[in-house]
A and B are shown apart, each in its own frame.
Chain A
């Protein structure tokens, strides 16, 4: 019986990891996502990779957007991905990284499982479009 209409929303976690106090970008992204109709959970500043994993698993987000401007992405992102795997949450979470990431590192991150890296100046609409097209299909 299909008495109720399914009400699905794309859930995103916007996460700041590590010792990086610059969250203006994360705020702007969070608002843009909200206005796109997504449900956005914002992690707050200075989170450890474990905290991000905990939030991503518990909130069961479709999209994990990690904002890193400190240059520590090569240390922090793998830890987050490891954690997600531990909870069996890696396969169907779309992982995005935003920030200033050198090209070489970008390739490496994508190899690890990051779906896309968005550098400074990326139009908001592009990121939102990417999410809409790539959000993991869940049954």
Chain B
């Protein structure tokens, strides 16, 4: 999105960098791992000055393919990410990984265990693995993750992988900051597939049945296939009725060829009629690395599809719009919080409402009034 640089004079100036932060940014762009790690910490802490850092990095981003991996706990995400990173390294790509783990809502503490699985890449500094905890930020997590991805992107990583547990809105928001999203399912999780329907199904560009050497893999594959095709459209949905659970639309194939047959058909579709992406359903055994090549091919296909159909620009624009909205909301919210303090604090206001001296709507209107004034008079 370099086109916007031209009218930079008209756009608001970026927040100013302090000397130390400027050094940090310079170090990051120079390839210092320490500086990159530091920048991500600043981003995670929402430390003063982190905005200026991310602002300074923004123009250096856009080079990385960003892949999101989500799925239920124990589906094998970390192991698969490890194998993916190793495969990307083998073909010469550098990799960044952001692994998000939940933190305790009580103490804020967390054990970030995803790193244990990174056995294939230990000692390889060109795989930059970073664990992040949710830290209970409301909506801030996706912001922090997106900013961390920007740091890795600006550092020059070819591929950035975001890994997170697929439970709840927070995680869905996190993984939506990726260009390509893979949803991981383990065999025999019929009910899991059911729960996936709400929310997760819509965000998957690729579905992966991991641990495909286990019992029930074929059935899970078939269920996913059915769901993927049902989401294509109402007519197709009706048509998909014959995809019975016990009668998958392709014979069970112990060699793992399911994907190939499927992939060809998808190609035909996208070439001839519509640029719509039909999610692929693949199988992997992350432990042994089986199917990882195919998965990477699917990621590449999807990235190519995004570029060729021009969808990438729409997605990026939508994502940046969301980022701007989140930032503005949080800034305006902070202003409002200050105003609440000026009016004696939230407790006093709440007590007034309890005593029926006033009501919540009136209080809110009073708090926001100065902001409204500013906006309406067009002043600063």
Contact = CB atoms under 8 A, between A and B. Distances in A.
Interface string B207-248: 000000000000000000000000000000000000000000
Given A39-B112, A87-B33, A60 B135 contact: no
Contacts of A8: 45, 47
B46 A47 contact: no
Contacts of A11: 41
Nearest to B37: A60
Contact of A40 (B37, B109, B335): B109
A58 interface: yes
Contacts of A116: none
B331 A1 contact: yes
A6 B47 contact: yes
A55 interface: yes
Nearest to B107: A37
Contact of A41 (B32, B45, B119, B131): B131
Q: Number of contact residues on A: which range applies?
A: 35 or more
Contacts of A58: 33, 37, 128-130
B133 interface: yes
Contact of B48 (A6, A33, A138): A6
Nearest to A36: B109
Contacts of A47: 122
A139 B50 CA distance: 12
B46 A6 contact: yes
A54 B113 contact: no
Interface string A1-31: 1111111110100000000000000000011
B372 interface: no
B276 to A, nearest CB: 39
B104 A34 contact: yes
A60 B46 contact: no
A97 B37 CA distance: 23
A57 interface: yes
A35 B34 CA distance: 28
B288 interface: no
Main secondary structure, interface of B, reads mixed
Contacts of B48: 2, 6
A39 B48 CA distance: 21
A81 interface: no
A9 B108 contact: yes
A89 interface: yes
A42 B47 CA distance: 25
A38 interface: yes
B67 to A, nearest CB: 19
B111 interface: yes
Interface string A77-110: 0000000000111000000000000000000000
Contact of A59 (B37, B108, B116, B122): B37
A47 B118 CA distance: 11
Interface string A103-139: 0000000000000000000000000000000000011
Contacts of A6: 45-48
A60 B45 contact: no
A40 B110 contact: yes
B379 interface: no
B112 A4 contact: no
Given A42-B115, A54-B123, 15 more contacts: A6-B47, A7-B46, A8-B45, A35-B104, A37-B108, A38-B109, A39-B109, A41-B131, A42-B116, A43-B116, A44-B116, A51-B123, A57-B37, A60-B38, A60-B40
18 contacts: A4-B46, A6-B48, A9-B108, A9-B109, A9-B135, A30-B111, A34-B111, A39-B112, A42-B111, A42-B115, A42-B116, A50-B122, A54-B122, A57-B33, A58-B37, A88-B34, A138-B41, A139-B20
In the complex, the 4 A-B pairs of residues with the closest C-beta atoms, listed nearest first = A44-B116, A60-B37, A34-B109, A3-B334
Interface of B: 15, 20, 32-34, 37-38, 40-41, 44-48, 103-104, 107-113, 115-116, 119, 122-125, 128-131, 133, 135, 137, 140, 330-331, 334-335
Interface of A: 1-9, 11, 30-31, 33-44, 47-48, 50-51, 54-55, 57-60, 87-89, 138-139
